[in-house]
Structure 1
Amino acid sequence: MTAVGEDACSLSTGEPDFATPPFLCRAAEGATKAGHTRYGPAAGEPALREAIANKLQQDNKLTCGPDKIMVSNGAKQTLYTLFQVLLDTGDKVILPAPYWLSYPPWFTWPGGRSVIVPTRQDENHQLDVSFGAVALDLAERTFVVKGFSKNWAMTGWRLGYLAGPESSWAKPWRSRAKAPATCAALCNMGAWRC
C-alpha cells in the first residue's frame, strides 16, 4: 500500500509510525561527543537505573532500588533471558493471547510449557485473574520488564530493563553478565531522560 502512496500503518514488526523524540537524539549525540562510546557497566549506567527506579516509584507505586534494576538489549531479550534462567522442566508459564510469536518456544527450550489464556479486545486484553489467589508470595517472584522501543520510537536502540526482587534478580544478572551481548553504553546515556 505504501509503495503506491497510500497512508498505512504496518503492525507487522511493531515499528512506531513516529520518529524518536528530538531530545533523545540530542542526548545520544551529546553522549557520543562526550566520549560515551565504550563498554558501560554490565547492569546499565547508574543514572539510567536511578531514573528507572524513580519512574517505577512515581508511576507504578513500586519500590525497587537501582541495585535491583538491570538495563538490557530490550524487553524481548530480557524476557528470553529470564525464561532460560528461571524455567525448569515442567514449569508452566501463563501466556495471554494474543501474544508475540517468539514467546512459546522460549518456554519449551528450557523444558517449560505455556498455558495460553485468551483475552478479549473489549476488555483491553486484561487477564481475568486474581494474582493474590495464585500465590501469597507472588511479589517475591515478580519481575517488571519494560522496553523503550515502542513508546519512544527507539526500536533500533535495543533498550529495555528488568526490575525485581534481589533474591530472584541475582541469578539472571550473573547469567546475563556472561551473555554474548550487553546494552550499548551510548543507548543508556540518553534514555534516562525518558
Structure 2
Amino acid sequence: MLSDRIQSLSPSLTIAISSLARDLKAEGKDVLSFSAGEPDFGTPQKIKDEAIKAINDGFTQYTAVPGIPELLKAVAGKLKRENGLEYAPSDIIVSNGAKQSLFNLFQAVINPGDEVIIPAPYWVTYPELVIYSEGKPVIIDTDEKSGFKITAEQLKNAITPKTKMIVLTSPSNPTGSVYSKEELESLAEVLKGTDIIVASDEMYEKLVYGIDFVATASISEDMYQRTVTINGLSKSVAMTGWRFGYLASPNKALIGAMNNLQSQSTSNINSITQKAAVVALNGEVDAEIEEMRQAFEERAIEAVKLFNEIDGLSVLKPDGAFYLFVNTKEISNDSIEFCKELLQKTGVAVVPGIGFGAEGYFRFSFATDIETIREGISRIKKFVESKKA
C-alpha cells in the first residue's frame, strides 16, 4: 500500500525522545528533558504585537507563494546588512520553517543516484531528506580533533562525478561547531571548477559565543553563486511554533522550480507570521536576541564545566547553538542503550548520538534554566558513577 519513498523515511529520534519524556512526565514521573531543539524563551512582545495587529487588520487571506513583498524585502535587507550578501526579493522564498526550505531544495535538484556530502555529526533530517529525494548521502565523519568540522582534504576525497551537493551547517546542531572564514575559504577552494551546490544551513547564526559568524555565500563570488542560504527565526528569535524559514539563491531557475513546488504543496506560509517576521528581520528585537544569546552563553560555560568534572565523560565547549555533544565512549559506545537507561533510572532525557550519525555521544540541550541544567547534570553524574562502580 505504501510507496517505497515514504517507507524509506525513519522517524526523528529527537522528536521520539521528546515525546517519550513528555509521556513519562504525564504519568507523574520526575522527568527533566534536555532533548528539545527549542529555546525556552518567549517570542519577543513586539513580534506578538505585530501578529495581533495583522489579525485585527484582517490580514488573513492567501498571499503570494514566496511571501509578501515587504517580507521578501526585509529578508533581503537582513542578508545585506548582517551578512554582506546582495539578493533581490525575487531570489528569496519563505517556507514553513527551514525544514521545508531544505525539502524544497532537495526535491528540486536531486536526481536518483545523486550524491550529497553530509559531515557527521549531522542534523537528523539531512540524510533522511536526501534518501527521500532518491539521492545517496555520503557521510564524512568528524571528531573532537577537528572541532567536529570537515577539512578541505576530506571534502576533496569525498567528491565523485556523482556529487551534486554538500550540506554545511554553521553553527552546528548537534555539536555547536562554527566554521571560521579561513576554514570556509579552504572548502571553497576545493569546490572551484565544479558544479556542486552548497546548502548552507545558518539557522543558529545569532547564537555564537566568542567567535564571529561568517555566511558561507560571503566567502567569494564563486561561493555566492553555488550556495543556497537557508535560515529562519525559530532559534534566534524563539519563533519555533510560528514556522518561518527562508532560503536565498541568485539562481533564478532554481528559485523558480522551488516556487513551483511550494505552490503545489503548501502555497504561502501563514499570513500573520509573515507580518510578524518583518519586525524580527528589520532588527527591532535585536536587544532581546542579545539577551537570549548571553543567557545561552552563560549556561554553556556552566554546563561544560560540570560535564568535564564527571569522570568518564567529556565535552567540547560549543562556539554556537544551544547544544553540547557529550562523549560517553569511556562508559558506553551504545548511545541508544545509554540514553534509554539514563531516562529510566534518573528521569533525564537526552538524545542518542547515533541519531546524528555519531556513536558514543549524546546531545544535551541547554535551552532551559540553569538550575534545571545543574540538577540534570548532577543526576547524569550519579548515573555514570554507578556505571563505573
Shorter-chain TM range is: 0.7 to 0.9
Distance (whole Å) between structure 2 residues aligned to residue 121 and residue 29 of structure 1? 46
* 1:131 maps to which of 178, 188, 196: 188
The letter of the residue matching 1:158 is R
2:58 to 30, 35, 59: 35
Contact 1:157 1:187 in 2 (8 A): yes
- What are structure 1's unaligned runs of at least 5 residues? none
> Residue type of the partner of 1:131?
A
**Equivalences for residues 69-148 of structure 1 within 5 A:** 69-120=92-143, 125-129=148-152, 130-136=187-193, 137-148=222-233
Please tell me the root mean square deviation across aligned C-alpha atoms, in Å. 2.4
CA distance in structure 2 between the aligned counterparts of 1:61 and 1:11, rounded to whole angstroms: 35
Alpha-carbon shift at residue 163 of structure 1 (Å): 0.5
Matching of residue 175 in structure 1 with residue 232 in structure 2: no
Q: Are residues 104 and 71 of structure 1, via their aligned partners in 2, closer, same or farther at CA, if it must alter by over 3 Å? A: same
Whichever residue aligns with residue 132 of structure 1, its letter is: E
For residues 150 and 178 of structure 1, do their structure 2 counterparts lie closer, same or farther at Cα, with a shift above 3 Å needed?
same
Q: Residues 4-23 of structure 1: matches in 2 within 5 Å? A: 10-23=33-46
Contact 2:227 2:249 in 1 (8 A): yes
Query: Measured at CA, do residues 124 and 113 of structure 1 come closer, stay the same or move farther in structure 2, by a change above 3 Å?
Result: same
Letter matched to residue 33 of structure 1: N
Deviations 1:87-145 (A, max 9, x none): 01221112122222222121122221112223445765444331232134553332011
Q: Return the alpha-carbon distance in structure 2 between the equivalents of residues 49 and 128 of structure 1.
A: 35
Q: Which residue identity does 2:190 align to in structure 1? A: A
Query: Which SS does the other structure have where 1:15 is aligned?
Result: coil
Counterpart mapping for 1:40-51 below 5 A? 40-51=63-74
- Is 69-78 or 180-189 further displaced after alignment? 180-189
Normalised by the size of structure 2, how large is the TM-score? Answer: 0.46
Cα 1:105–1:184 shift into 2, 3 Å: same
1:162 is paired with a residue whose SS is: strand
Q: Is the 8 A contact 1:92 1:115 kept in 2?
A: yes
1:164 Cα offset (Å): 0.4
Once the two structures are overlaid, the 10-residue window that deviates more, 130-139 or 50-59, is 130-139
3-state DSSP of counterpart to 2:279: coil
1:188 aligns with 2:274: yes
- C-alpha displacement of 1:182: 3.0
TM-score scaled by structure 1? 0.88
Structure 1 pair 135–17 and aligned structure 2 pair: CA distance change class (3 A): same
SS at match of 1:76: helix
Flag the 1:189–1:150 CA change in 2: closer, same or farther, 3 A: same
Report the more deviating stretch, 155-164 or 86-95.
Answer: 86-95
Q: Which structure has the larger Rg over C-alpha atoms? A: 2
In the alignment, the residues of structure 2 paired with residue 64 and residue 132 of structure 1 have an alpha-carbon distance, to the nearest angstrom, of 23
Q: Choose between structure 1 and 2 for higher RCO, CA contacts under 8 A separated by at least 6 residues.
A: 1
Letter of the structure 2 residue corresponding to residue 21 of structure 1: P
Cα distance between partner residues in 2 of 1:192 and 1:121: 38
User: Which of 32-41 and 176-185 deviates more?
Assistant: 176-185
Secondary structure of the residue aligned to 1:193 is helix
Write the distance in 2 (CA, Å) between the matches of 1:101 and 1:7. 24
What percentage of residue pairs aligned between the two structures are identical? 36
CA distance in 2, matches of 1:134, 1:161: 24
Q: After superposition, what is the alpha-carbon deviation per residue over 1:13-51, rounded to whole angstroms, capped at 9, x for unaligned?
A: 311111111111111111111111111111111111111
| Alpha-carbon offset, residue 183 of structure 1 | 0.7
Residue 95 of structure 1 aligns to a residue in which SS?
strand
Unaligned runs of at least 5 residues, structure 2: 1-20, 153-186, 194-221, 281-389
- Whole-Å separation in 1 of the counterparts to 2:31 and 2:125: 29
Secondary structure of 2:151 counterpart = coil
Match in the other structure for 1:159: 244
